[in-house]
Structure 1
Amino acid sequence: MSIVNISCYKFVTLAGREALKADLSARCLKLGLKGTILLAPEGINVFLAGTRAAIDAIVAVLRADPRLADLEPKLSLSAEAPFKRMRVRLKKEIITMKMPVVRPEEGRAPAVAAATLKRWLDQGCDDEGRPVVMLDTRNDYEVAAGGFENAVDYGIGVFSEFPAELRRHRADYAGKTVVSFCTGGIRCEKAAIHMQEIGVERVYQLEGGILKYFEEVGGAHYRGGCFVFDAREAVGADLQPLGGRVHG
């Protein structure tokens, strides 16, 4: 398990993306890294794999940019790099929702830590006695790999379908505490903001997503694996590959 895999994101206004793309492309190639970095006006999304030294070096480069100084990558290990190549891409959004009014940089929805969520699920309610609904914001093929017990999912094919489905089901969440979740936190961050905007009263996002939950509390109340967008296909609660085919 000599390969370190990292994922992280940040919603922050990114100017000078062309120059940033060129700089990061050159540095990643020199370090022998593989993976994808997405750059958009709303922020950055990073999936990289390489040796410990190379990963430490690129994280230092990213954090040297004042806009990205607080990046906190999630780590896992694998025997081989789960990516075929290195790409730095310019995108309109780092996660496509097609709702420009949703701007996480301007303020997040409340987040719940993994340990707190586990306690809520253990006791069957939140700390104020409200039922807790786990809302899966991922796409259908990701949900098929595994998820939280009794979670709600809308069977969507792409994340941009989520807002319309949510509006149709908004009344289902009256009097309940809703925790949105996704792989690493990026989609549930946008989803939780949108839920607040349409009047869902008590909304949280799972801090760091499923991967952070696995890292901090293991697989309690979770069944199956977590789909990841690389050759590992899915990882278990121990963050080790479950096996699968290469995508993309």
Structure 2
Amino acid sequence: MNNPATAPDAPSPDSSSAAPSGEATNAAPSAEAPPHPLHRRLKSFVKRGGRTTDGQAKAYADFGPRFLVAYRPEPIDFAATFGRAAPTVLEIGFGMGEATAHIATVRPDTNFLCCEVHEAGVGKLLKRCGEQGIENIRIVAHDAVDVIDHMLPHGVLAGVHVFFPDPWHKARHNKRRLLQTPLVRKLAERLVPGGYIHCATDWQPYAEQMLDVLSTEPLLRNTADAVAGGYAQKPDYRPLTKFENRGIKLGHGVWDLVFERI
């Protein structure tokens, strides 16, 4: 589920995407890639094209007023936004929202604030929420880094989900990857004690980088046993996407990382 990639077999949230965030889409970077976002301003996504269908456009009109949250540079009131007080998880880049909708359904006691900039993905998740009656999702169609910086005070999140962010396969583009020290620190600061960051990728080099960056953040601890190489078992709430299933059949791996706020 703003924003936020996939490995060779999955599309990507870049954190934004249009595929599995569990669905994010991952298009290969162009040869003429612009300067690295961190050299200008930290961002959580790379804008990519995508066609919004008539059904998704209708979802904006029918369900947008109910589920969309406007970006405002001021702290968000979760109780007013969701109509209840409940633990809130931030998702960065949900792609087309299939996994996001599933997770919200199996965790009805948790609120999910979901950032995605791709209109087709936002429209698709709006449609799912409206037609399936999923009341614990709200969508901010804006860059997640702005949302983090200006709408989320420290110590307010129960969790953060970053599923299949763009891996930026080429070595010269690795610095474009979302999960780097500056963002990880921002996320850790906004977690409540015991809150978690759950990342997943199907690109092993990116998994290794995620593990390194998360492990060196002093506010976090790895919940996985060192015997497992530092990688976690896939939590039950995260579904296998069709892209993962296809990759698994082809012998590709998927790596989950779950770190907890100390």
Structure 2 length-normalised TM: 0.34
Higher relative contact order (CA 8 A, sep 6+): 2
Is the strand fraction higher in 1 or 2? 1
Name which one, 1 or 2, has greater alpha-carbon Rg: 1
Structure 1 length-normalised TM: 0.36
